[in-house]
């Protein structure tokens, strides 16, 4: 599968118009923003935009099939605005929007700033952009009572490229926070993460070694910080090194190289292993991190002796990578996952109870708290049978519910109370309840399907866990 963007031309205006009507119809129905919604644009409006010298339209392609489109507007020489970007409904929930955004940034890699806006109430869209590194500018515009436009931007550090590998001094680029960045390092890093090829990693490492040598020679010190972190993913690189994902208290999820971590005599071997909570000394680069020192604080070794628990713990790790923030404080997220792993490791609570608590609380911390207070139609708080709607994160009583084809989960009084508990309970009481096994099954069904809809992802580790549990 290949996702890329293809420049559209004037003859495609009608096609773009038709696609916008399909893609934005659902949002138009929810917010009735007839003045701003792209679904309301006529082909004449799109044609006029096409004629603008500062506007370009692109089709988003999956192999040879059109799955969406994007408009790029030139604000000035260094800034571009994305307005709008959309994926057709039948291709949504596969991560194509994220891949399309990366294609756009690569196509405009000489641009130092991208801007965009979205609807604040659309939590999934906000999460997508924030996950990709877009930051809120602080500007918001309220169009009406239930619709607010929030503005984002993403800035890129300017660098100077040089092909002369023999003259290392000519590489030196702009310094940010006392760090030296190099375009060639950046390109090699991107190549490695795109292909996963060991040769690309070796090229990256070769350049990086030269860079670090230059830094030491020049007396410059890269920015470093110390933090506590849980290793949630590891990948062997070459004969001695590893690439890890760590959930850190201060910086959220980071990807970091660990040199010599596969040497069993090296302290970092244990400290940077999967499911290890460690004290980390981290050197921060533009797009990558390097773990200098690592001291293990707790190794969840008991989990490794149980295949089922190991699989569930790996699912927790995948949740962390997907949901937890990047470049932000994530102390609450880290504490929650550590508590879950501890309870699982020490058999303090059953896996069937820990899992939905973690799922629902993680989603709530990330800004995806469902509304479980009352029936969204009549306001009924509690009755014998209520329906949880994972797609909207709301509940309806049986009397108010009208079949529309969306997934629904029937909750009795016990399972509804438990589901509310996972969202609204105090942190120190989160895991403090009991349910019959049948109600726990319902609770798990509700929580995992809610995450599936909210984060538009089918978690592979969860599927594997369910096959062996």
> Tokens representing 432?
């403090």
CB crowding 404-416: b at 16 or more within 10 Å, else e? eeeebbebeebbb
Note the pLDDT of residue 33. 87
**Other Cβ atoms closer than 10 A to 177:** 7
Tokens of 126: 């906000």
pLDDT at 382: 86
For residue 119, give Cα distances in angstroms to 57, 84, 143, 244, 367. 22, 12, 10, 34, 14
Widest CA span in the chain: 76
* Element of type H or E holding 295: strand 289-299
Determine contact, residues 88/98, Cβ cutoff 8 Å: no
The token pair at 114 is 């991208």
Query: What is the pLDDT, as a whole number, of residue 208?
Result: 55
Half-sphere exposure of 467 (CA within 13 A, CB side): 6
- pLDDT in the model for residue 286: 58
CA distance linking residue 180 with residue 176, whole number of Å = 7
Per-residue pLDDT tens listing for the chain (469 residues): 578 999 999 999 999 999 999 999 999 988 888 888 999 999 998 998 888 878 999 999 998 899 999 999 988 888 999 999 999 999 988 888 988 998 999 899 888 999 999 999 998 899 889 888 899 999 998 888 889 999 999 988 644 333 433 333 333 333 333 333 334 444 555 555 555 566 666 666 665 555 555 444 444 445 788 999 999 999 888 778 888 999 999 999 999 989 888 777 777 888 999 999 999 999 886 557 889 899 999 999 899 889 999 999 999 999 999 999 887 899 999 999 999 999 999 999 999 999 999 999 999 998 889 999 899 888 888 888 899 999 889 999 988 988 888 899 999 999 999 999 999 999 999 999 999 999 999 999 999 999 998 888 889 999 999 999 8
Q: What is the pLDDT of residue 215?
A: 45
pLDDT at 212: 52
φ, ψ (nearest 5 deg) of residue 112? -95, -10
The pLDDT of residue 191 = 56
Strands (E), 51-174: 55-62, 65-76, 79-87, 113-119, 135-144, 147-155
Query: CA-to-CA distance for 317 and 253, rounded, in angstroms?
Result: 11
All residues at 6 or more sequence positions from 104 whose CB lies less than 8 Å from its CB, including other chains? 5, 58, 70, 72, 82, 85, 114
| Measured distance CA(192)–CA(257) in Å, rounded | 12
- What pLDDT score was predicted for residue 305? 85
pLDDT attached to residue 161: 39
Closest residue by Cα to residue 251 from 291, 220, 305, 214: 291
Q: How far is CA 160 from CA 180, 187, 255, 320, in A?
A: 11, 12, 24, 35
Mutual orientation of helices 307-323 and 437-455 as an angle, nearest 10°?
40
- Displacement of CA 63 from its chain's centroid (Å): 24
Residue with tokens 């058999």: 347
The residue length of the chain stands at: 469
Identify the pLDDT of residue 162: 36
pLDDT of residue 198: 60
Q: CA-CA distances (angstroms) from residue 33 to 19, 85, 129, 147, 186?
A: 18, 17, 22, 8, 41
Interacting residues of 266 by C-beta distance below 8 A, sequence separation 6+: 260
Query: From the centroid of its chain, how far is CA 134?
Result: 12
Q: Are 179 and 286 in contact (CB under 8 A)?
A: yes
Of 357, 373, 363, which Cα lies nearest the Cα of 440? 357
Write down the H helix ranges in 152-197: 183-195
The class level of CATH for 348-468 reads: mainly alpha
Contacts of 126 (CB under 8 A, 6+ apart): 118, 120, 150, 367
Q: Is 203 exposed, middle or buried (0-12, 13-18, 19+ CB in 10 A)?
A: middle
The CATH H-level (homologous superfamily) assignment of domain 3-155 is Gcn5-related N-acetyltransferase (GNAT) (3.40.630.30)
CATH number of the structural domain 224-299: 2.40.50.140
For residues 425 and 410, what is the distance between their CA atoms, to the nearest angstrom? 22
Q: Dihedral (C-alpha) 226, 230, 232, 233: value to the nearest 10 degrees?
A: 40
Tokens at 18, concatenated? 């038709």
Q: Domain-by-domain residue ranges, the chain?
A: 3-155, 168-218, 224-299, 348-468
């Amino acid at each position: 599968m290949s996702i890329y963007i293809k420049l559209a031309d004037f003859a495609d205006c009608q096609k773009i118009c038709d696609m916008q009507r399909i893609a934005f119809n659902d949002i138009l129905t929810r917010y009735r923003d007839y003045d701003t919604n792209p679904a309301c644009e006529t082909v004449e409006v799109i044609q006029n935009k096409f004629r603008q010298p500062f506007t370009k339209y692109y089709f988003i392609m999956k192999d040879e099939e059109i799955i969406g489109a994007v408009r790029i507007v030139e604000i000035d020489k260094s800034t571009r605005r994305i307005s709008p970007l959309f994926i057709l409904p039948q291709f949504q929930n596969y991560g194509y929007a994220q891949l399309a955004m990366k294609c756009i940034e690569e196509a405009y890699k000489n641009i130092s700033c991208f801007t965009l806006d979205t609807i604040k109430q659309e939590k999934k869209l906000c999460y997508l952009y924030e996950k990709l590194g877009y930051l809120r500018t602080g500007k918001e515009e309220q169009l009406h009572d239930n619709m607010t436009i929030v503005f984002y931007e993403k800035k890129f550090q300017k660098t100077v490229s040089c092909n002369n590998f023999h003259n290392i001094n000519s590489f030196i680029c702009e310094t940010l926070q006392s760090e030296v960045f190099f375009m060639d390092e950046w390109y090699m890093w991107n190549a490695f993460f795109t292909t996963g090829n060991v040769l690309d990693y070796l090229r990256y490492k070769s350049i990086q070694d030269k860079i670090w040598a230059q830094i030491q020679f020049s007396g410059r010190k890269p920015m470093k910080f110390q933090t506590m972190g849980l290793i949630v993913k590891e990948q062997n690189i070459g004969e001695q090194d590893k690439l890890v994902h760590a959930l850190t208290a201060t910086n959220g999820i980071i990807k970091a190289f660990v040199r010599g971590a596969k040497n069993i005599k090296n302290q970092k071997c244990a400290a940077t292993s999967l499911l290890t909570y460690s004290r980390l000394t981290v050197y921060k680069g533009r797009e990558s991190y390097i773990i200098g020192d690592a001291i293990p604080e707790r190794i969840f070794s008991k989990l490794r002796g149980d295949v089922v628990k190991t699989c569930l713990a790996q699912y927790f790790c995948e949740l962390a990578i997907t949901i937890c923030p990047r470049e932000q404080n994530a102390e609450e997220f880290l504490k929650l996952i550590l508590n879950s792993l501890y309870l699982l490791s020490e058999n303090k609570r059953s896996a069937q109870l820990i899992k939905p608590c973690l799922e629902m609380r993680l989603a709530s911390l990330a800004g995806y708290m469902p509304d479980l207070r009352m029936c969204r139609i009549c306001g009924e708080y509690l009755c014998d049978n209520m329906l949880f709607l994972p797609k909207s994160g709301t509940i309806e009583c049986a009397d108010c519910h009208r079949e529309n084809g969306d997934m629904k989960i029937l909750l009795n009084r016990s399972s509804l109370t438990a589901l509310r508990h996972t969202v609204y309970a105090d942190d120190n009481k989160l895991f403090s309840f009991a349910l019959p096994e049948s109600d726990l099954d319902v609770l798990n069904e509700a929580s995992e399907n809610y995450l599936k809809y909210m984060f538009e992802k089918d978690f592979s580790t969860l599927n594997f866990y369910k096959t062996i549990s």
